[in-house]
Chain A
Amino acid sequence: MIPTDAKELESLFETNPWWQKLLKEAERVHYVKNLPPEVTDRVMIGTVDNLWESIEILEDNFTEAEKDSVYLGAREILSQLKQGDKFPERVFELYRGQIPKALNKIDDYAKALIDLIQDSDLQKEVNAKWKEGKKIPFQKLKDEFKIESLEQRYLT
Chain B
Amino acid sequence: MEKRNLTKEFYYPFGEEDLFEAKPVGINRDRFEYLSYRVYDPLWISGLEDFEIEYINFPLGWAGLLFTVTQMKGLYDYHKSGKDVLAQLNTYFQEDNILDEIENAIASCPITARHGDLFKETIVGYRKGLYKISSRTMLSLIEGIIWDFAWWWNRKSGSIIDKSIKLEDFRKLKFRLLKPDGQEINAREPTIGLLLRNTKFGEEFYFEFVEYYCEELFRERNPALHGRNPNFGDEKKASSLLLCLKILEKEIFEAFSAWFADVYIKTYEEAKIAETVK
Q: Which residues of A contact B (CB under 8 A)?
A: 1-2, 6, 9, 12, 16-19, 21-23, 25-30, 33, 37-42, 44-46, 48-57, 59, 61-62, 65, 68, 70-71, 74-75, 78-79, 81-87, 91, 94-95, 98-99, 102, 105-106, 109-110, 112-113, 116, 137-139, 142, 150, 154-156
Contacts and interface: CB of A to CB of B under 8 A. Distances in A.
Interface stretch (B25-33, B78-86, B117-125, B129-137): B25-33
Nearest to A81: B12
Given A53-B26, A61-B37, A75-B32, A48 B42 contact: no
Interface of B: 1-7, 9-16, 19-20, 23-46, 48, 51-53, 56-57, 69-70, 73, 101, 104-105, 108-110, 196-197, 202-203, 206, 208, 211-212, 215, 253-254, 256-258, 260-262, 264-266, 268-269, 271
Given A26-B265, A71-B40, A91-B39, 4 more contacts: A46-B20, A51-B45, A56-B26, A87-B12
B52 A30 contact: no
B39 A74 contact: yes
B257 A45 contact: no
A82 B15 contact: yes
A99 B70 CA distance: 27
Nearest to A27: B265
Contacts of B1: 40-42
Contact of B25 (A41, A53, A98): A53
B83 to A, nearest CB: 16
Contacts, number: 205
A94 B42 CA distance: 11
Contacts of B197: 139, 142
Contacts of B208: 138
Chain B contact residues: over half helix, strand or loop, or mixed? helix
A89 to B, nearest CB: 11
Nearest to A94: B39
Given A45-B20, A53-B24, A71-B40, A37 B7 contact: yes
B5 A71 contact: no
A49 B57 contact: no
A48 B40 contact: no
Nearest to B47: A55
B51 A29 contact: no
Nearest to B265: A30
Nearest to A72: B36
Nearest to A52: B34
Nearest to A55: B45
A41 B43 contact: no
B200 to A, nearest CB: 11
30 contacts: A2-B110, A16-B104, A19-B108, A27-B261, A29-B265, A30-B265, A37-B5, A39-B3, A40-B1, A40-B2, A40-B3, A49-B24, A50-B24, A56-B73, A57-B37, A65-B41, A75-B36, A79-B30, A83-B16, A84-B12, A85-B11, A85-B12, A91-B39, A95-B39, A98-B39, A98-B40, A105-B48, A109-B48, A150-B212, A154-B212
